[in-house]
Amino acid sequence: MKLTKTEEQLMEYIWREKKVFMKDLIDCFDEPKPAPTTVATLLKRMQEKGFVAYKTFGNSRQYYPLVTKASYFSKYVNGIIEQFFDNSPLQFASFFTQSGKLSKKELESLKNIIDEQIKKKKS
């Protein structure tokens, strides 16, 4: 399941801080700050999607992530590969390396990473 841009912004903060109260989440936004009801609605949707849960402390709720950032990113990238690259990681890698945005040094680093993965597969 995918998050909206605003939900991703909240998740970034939750991932970084691990546990947060609603006031902390409101404070992470620039001025003008969103209304508490807006943030509460976003958190409810994120909870329904299975991204966050909370513990109750009196009248306050402390939110924490149920999904790691790495797991979300992996599913997100795999969705892009499926949708735009005919479910082919090879086509994705080819596009990514030929896009012209990587420097020679970055391509060499990527090659080293690939070489390491090849060594691991042989073992």
Which residues are bridge partners to 52 per DSSP? 65
Pick left, alpha or beta for residue 112 (phi over 0 → left; psi -120 to 50 → alpha; otherwise beta): alpha
Rounded distance between C-alpha atoms, residue 31 and residue 27, angstroms: 9
Backbone phi, then psi, for 71, in 5-degree steps?
-65, -45
Q: Is the pLDDT of residue 1 over 80?
A: no
Instruction: Take residue 31 and report the two structure tokens written for it.
Output: 């001025």
Q: What is the pTM of this model?
A: 0.75
**What pLDDT does 15 receive?**
97
Confidence of residue 48 (pLDDT cuts 50, 70, 90): very high
**What pLDDT does 93 receive?**
87
Q: Where are the domains of the chain?
A: 5-65, 88-123
The pLDDT tens digits of the residues spanning 59-106 come to 999 999 999 999 999 988 898 899 999 999 899 888 888 887 888 899
**What pLDDT does 68 receive?**
96
**What pLDDT does 41 receive?**
96
Helix axes 69-84 and 89-98, enclosed angle (nearest 10): 90
Rounded distance between C-alpha atoms, residue 20 and residue 106, angstroms: 36
CATH fold of the domain at 5-65: Arc Repressor Mutant, subunit A (1.10.10)
The pLDDT tens digits of the residues spanning 30-44 come to 899 999 999 999 999
